[in-house]
Amino acid sequence: MLRFFRERAGLTQEGLGNHVKYSKSQVAMVERGERAPKGCLVGIADDVLGAQGALSLLAKKEFKDNGLRPWTEDYLAEERKAASILSYQNHVIPGLLQTEAYARAVYSCNFCPAIDDEELETRVADRLARQQIFERKPLPTLGFIVEQSVLTRPLGGRKVLKEQLLHMLDVGRRRHVHLQVMPHDRESHASLMGPLILLETAERTQLAYIEGHKGGYFVSEQPDLGNLIGKYGILRAHALSPEKSATLIEKVAHEL
């Protein structure tokens, strides 16, 4: 239906994306039925494409709100089926590596707005459920780069952090997981703008995902995608090797 009204209006996927703040690939995923039409897409598309409420009526009938932010839902849909996930984080341990106690500490830091206990526990459970990806077949390639400062930030307290670091070491021993630490004494840095995630889909399509205070978005078009892939390559080259990273993590955990 979305494709029908878009083509009737003479708009490209990119053109519609400019109106609804979606990338071309996100509009394409909605049209192929690979993702639900969340956020402002339906209302704006109804207006821009002259659908006279038909899209809104269909969306209300076919799609239920699961409580996830639209950008989070988009990312998780791609994460679940990704052939490869490469993550760089500079403030916290990546979600896929978090223990239950550490995840609870992270969500407890949501001050503005704060979340109630029920929602906090739901989010923690959902985060832990994502870690089933480590057992998925075929095994995905998983790479993580974290700043050294993350290893010493005692979210939840020293006991929680120590448990978290030991868990990282266990996960990092898996053949399909590569864990690296960015040392704090680097005099140059390829990603001062913040966290970055690269995904390769089951169809071997490459995507980048960036999230900030106001939401997250995919990057799928060149040259931006190529630039982000290049940044991650430099990060990987500048970080400690997996072996040296494991030694450092073990040392920090022992000192807690």
Residue partners of 96: CB distance under 8 A and separation at least 6: 85, 87, 130, 131, 133, 134, 142, 144
Taking the alpha carbons at both ends of the chain, their separation in whole angstroms is 57
pLDDT at 39 over 70: no
Q: Measure the CA–CA gap between 165 and 167, rounded to whole angstroms.
A: 5
| Tokens coding 56 | 């809104």
Mean pLDDT of the chain: 89
- Give the model confidence (pLDDT) of 217-249 as tens digits: 889 889 999 999 999 999 999 999 999 999 999
Q: For the chain, which domains are there?
A: 2-62 (1.10.260.40), 70-94+137-255 (3.30.870.10)
pLDDT for 64 equals: 54
Nearest to 45 by CA among 63, 61, 31: 31
- Give the model confidence (pLDDT) of 77-104 as tens digits: 889 889 999 999 999 999 999 999 999 9
Q: Measure the CA–CA gap between 97 and 171, rounded to whole angstroms.
A: 8
Query: Which of 33-42, 108-117, 188-197, 232-241 has the least mean pLDDT?
Result: 33-42
Q: Measure the CA–CA gap between 175 and 255, rounded to whole angstroms.
A: 27
Q: 3-class SS at 183?
A: coil
